[in-house]
Amino acid sequence: MMVEIFSEVEDEELIDTISKGLVKAYNVKVIVSRHKIGNAERAYNSRRKQYDAGILVNLFLNSVKISELALIITDKDLYVDGLNFVFGYAPGRAGIISLARLDQRFYGLPPDRRLYLERAVKEAVHEIGHLLGLHHCRDRGCVMFFSNTIEDTDRKGSVPCEACMSRIRV
């Protein structure tokens, strides 16, 4: 199984940490590319000051050919209809994670690089889990637990629980 990471951000340590987290969680091969989503302004909602995650994923899929699974990393603040925000979204063969709300500075707190990297790994592993057929888990320690708040993300682990691992579609 292969995951292609398409990053809009230039942060080698972040991308390397996410790659290692995906390998640890799912034993996948990871390939990294730089890619800006073209026409991203079409996904911007000026009233919300956020980007529609579904539109961004569709714009990406219309511009890039992927072989297996893809993960887009962006610093844009994301939402989907019905939710105030999302840390990530994975509707099909491609998922997206947003770094915006993973940074302590978003909440008016001093930066914490270790925590930021840890959160990014959890969200990446969570969205790839969806691409592998996993749904949200009721185990608060499982990476597949739904993060309604950043505290939910901080509380959960960085790998799926045993029950979730047994349900992965390959």
The predicted structure's pLDDT at residue 36: 86
Please state the rounded mean pLDDT for residues 74-95.
Answer: 96
pTM score, whole prediction: 0.96
First to last CA, the chain: 7
Structural domains in the chain? 2-135 (3.40.390.10)
Distance (Å, whole) CA 49 – CA 55: 15
Q: Please name every residue paired with 51 in a beta bridge, in sequence order, or none if there are none.
A: 44, 78
Q: Which two tokens stand for residue 19?
A: 């790659």
Active site residues: 127
| Chain segment 4-57, per-residue pLDDT in tens | 999 999 999 999 999 999 999 999 999 998 888 989 999 999 999 999 999 999
Q: Would you say 17 and 117 are in contact if contact means Cβ atoms under 8 Å apart?
A: yes
Rg (CA), the chain: 15
Please state the rounded mean pLDDT for residues 105-121.
Answer: 98
- Per-residue pLDDT for 68 more than 70? yes
Please state the rounded mean pLDDT for residues 109-117.
Answer: 98
Q: Please name every residue paired with 6 in a beta bridge, in sequence order, or none if there are none.
A: 33, 72
